[in-house]
Structure formats: C-alpha cells, structure tokens
Structure 1
Amino acid sequence: MTSASLNLTTVEPQTLREWIDRHEDLVILDVRSAAEFAALHIRGSYNVPLPLLTEHTDAVADRLGERVVLVCQSGVRAEQSRQRLAAAGVDTAYVLTGGAPGFAAAGGDVVRGANRWDLERQVRMVAGSLVVLGLVGGRFVSPRLRTLAGAIGTGLTFSALSNTCAMGKALSAMPWNRAAEEPTAATAIAQIPSA
C-alpha cells in the first residue's frame, strides 16, 4: 500500500473531531464487539461488529451516506470493514487512525463504560502465555511441549499474513467478552440513519 492510498482511506482523530462539528451526514461505525464498544466509544457512533458487517455488508452499505468513518481498536478490523464496504460500492469510507483509544487520547468526545481489556490485548496475553508455557514445559516436563510455542508462532504468522485472527474470534466468544449484549443484524442496521 502506498502512502498516497493510505492518505485516501484514513482519517486522523483531529480531522474527525472537525468533521463531527461540521457534517450532519457523517456516520461513525464502530466495528468492535459490543463489550469493547460498551467500555469506550465515540459519542454518536453506531456499533456494528465486524462479524455482523461481514454477513450483512450490502444491507449496511445501503444505509450509509457520503461520509463514513470506521472505528476499531487499532485499525485492523476497521480496514477489513472498509474493504468489504468498498466491494459493496461504498468508496467514501475512512478508517480512524489510532481507533477509539486514539480518538479519546486526542481529546475527542467519548463515552466510557466498564474498564476491560480490549480483544487485541487479550490475544497478546494468551499467545504470550502459551509460548512461555510451551518453552518452560519443554525444558522441565517434556521437549514435545515446545511444539506449543511453535504452533502459536505459526498461528501468529498466518494471522498477520491473512489479516485475520482465529484466537481473537475464539476469545470474543468467552463469557467476559459477552457481558454486553451483541446487537442483532436487525438492531445494528436499523440504528444507522438512512442515507
């Protein structure tokens, strides 16, 4: 990706703050899980988790206007959403640089809920712990346990190459990440104002 194309598909937190003040047609879609959204989100944004957007891309695209900003934790899920929406004909979607935490750090108007670890931090914790467990277990229990570290490393490499995260999907189904009620397709799409 060239720096020119990066500039066309991203928006900085300060620019988004200006857009919020000037544009009534602006739609901010937060594609994180409901639990992440409940913990911190941009005031006025709509929660349409990535799996829901993936299944109902056309229905979501039909509701969007001229200016769309996609938000997640770091930009990875928002970029996946932007690509899906672009394939559905929405070529005016931007990814917020730095995600919701970056917007909050830039002084943006956010709503804060219960403090919880975001999904990406949980993935790093689990992956790191499994690698350490494999290495320590391989040293003191059985050398075969070192394959656990290798499997996690292979999974992380595949995750980076494919821009997906199986561990993140698995962790998102855990009870502590389901504390907030996930929106249904009908409720998530209905909340977005019609273009």
Structure 2
Amino acid sequence: MNSGPRHKKTVVEIPSAILEGWRQRHLPVRVIDVRSAPEFAAGHLPGAVNHPLETLGPIPVEPGERIVLVCQGEARARMAARRLAEFGIDSYVLRGGTAGWYTEGRPLHYQAPAGWSFERKFRLVTGMLVLVTTLAAAFMSPKWLVAVACVGVCLVVTALMDRHPAK
C-alpha cells in the first residue's frame, strides 16, 4: 500500500501546490489522468500517465508512492478514487483538475493525435466504394449495383464471423 489517506470512503482532494511540493522534494508520486485518450492528448499535466476511468482497475503501487488522480474537473477523478479505494489503494484527487491546473498558469503537455486507425480507414474506403459504385449505377449502368451488393455481402459476412479484414 502507500502512505495516503488510509482507504477512506471520502475522497481526499489536494491543491496543485501540494502536488508540486511533493515533486520538488522528489517524493514518489504518480499522476494518473483518467480522461479518454483524445482528452489526454489535448493537454495533460507534465509526467501524467493516461488510464481512462472506463478501464481503471487494481494498479501496482510502490511502497510510499502517492497516487494523484486527475480529470478535466474532478468528477471522474473522484469516481476513480472511490474505485481504487475498493481495491485497497489510497489516492488523492487534484483539486480543480486539469482545468484548474491550467487556470493557475501551470504548464500542460500535449501529444500529437494518433493517426487514423485501420478500422476508420477501412470504413472510409468502404463508404467511398459504395458511394462511387452507387453513383455509377445511377448515371451509367444498373450493372454497377452488383458491385454495391458484393460490398454489402462482404460486410455482412465479416460482421457475422466477427472478423475484421485486418485480423
């Protein structure tokens, strides 16, 4: 376990000055940002790691390590603190969250957004193929509807098999 609030049911908030003090004294602190990956990439506390609330479960904690939870405000961080407490993990919530941190003039770090996923690219190409062949059927020849039907059949088969073409 860690030297924290001793598994209290209530959520313990800390101001940003406390977090900065712990960091300046080189105390073991882990800042966990519980927002989604895109929110995290759009601006997060320096040194924070992203662990979205939806997937948060028991985490390993070093002896003496302080866990500080942060989100945009405080709501999700409070939910995360209660969830970690259920696993016997002490944590703190940063008062004001990322928004408060930034409002105080403290820096945020940013990540370049990840490129398009294969699934997103696949949907784009499939949609374009259906659109082009449908237009060809409408303006050139109804025979192009066969291509549209083939795309539809392939999508239905992959859905029924629960397999993506890239798998």
Name the TM-score, length of structure 1 as normaliser. 0.48
The residue aligned with 2:78 is 79
Of the two, which has the highest radius of gyration? 2
The residue aligned with 1:107 is 105
Question: Any conservation in 2 of the 1:30–1:41 contact (CA below 8 Å)?
Answer: yes
Question: Any conservation in 2 of the 1:9–1:94 contact (CA below 8 Å)?
Answer: yes
Q: In 2, distance between residues paired with 1:107 and 1:20?
A: 17
Judging changes above 3 Å, is the alpha-carbon distance between structure 1 residues 71 and 34 closer, same or farther for their aligned structure 2 residues?
same
Judging changes above 3 Å, is the alpha-carbon distance between structure 1 residues 16 and 7 closer, same or farther for their aligned structure 2 residues?
farther
Q: How many residues align?
A: 105
Q: In 2, distance between residues paired with 1:6 and 1:104?
A: 28
Alignment-mate amino acid for residue 35 of structure 1: P
Secondary structure at 1:15's aligned position in 2?
A: helix
Question: Any conservation in 2 of the 1:70–1:82 contact (CA below 8 Å)?
Answer: yes
Q: In 2, distance between residues paired with 1:68 and 1:27?
A: 5
The residue aligned with 1:145 is none
Relative contact order (C-alpha < 8 Å, sep 6+): which is higher? 1
CA offset digits 1:104-130 (Å, max 9, x no partner): 22232321457xxxxxxxxxxxxxxxx
Name the TM-score, length of structure 2 as normaliser. 0.56
Alignment-mate amino acid for residue 18 of structure 2: T
Instruction: Give the CA deviation at 1:23.
Output: 3.0
CA offset digits 1:50-78 (Å, max 9, x no partner): 0110xxx12x2x24553110000111100
- Supply the RMSD in Å over aligned alpha carbons: 2.5
1:96 pairs with 94, 97, 101, which one?
94
The residue aligned with 1:51 is 54
Secondary structure at 2:47's aligned position in 1?
A: coil
Instruction: Give the CA deviation at 1:18.
Output: 1.8
Question: Any conservation in 2 of the 1:31–1:71 contact (CA below 8 Å)?
Answer: yes
Instruction: Give the CA deviation at 1:6.
Output: 10
Judging changes above 3 Å, is the alpha-carbon distance between structure 1 residues 108 and 22 closer, same or farther for their aligned structure 2 residues?
farther
CA offset digits 1:67-95 (Å, max 9, x no partner): 1100001111000000011111112x110
2:15 pairs with 8, 12, 16, which one?
12
CA offset digits 1:137-159 (Å, max 9, x no partner): xxxxxxxxxxxxxxxxxxxxxxx
Q: In 1, distance between residues paired with 2:27 and 2:108?
A: 18
The residue aligned with 1:68 is 67
> Which structure has more helix as a fraction of its residues?
1
Q: In 2, distance between residues paired with 1:7 and 1:83?
A: 8
Question: Any conservation in 1 of the 2:53–2:80 contact (CA below 8 Å)?
Answer: yes
The residue aligned with 1:23 is 26
Secondary structure at 1:82's aligned position in 2?
A: helix
Secondary structure at 1:103's aligned position in 2?
A: helix
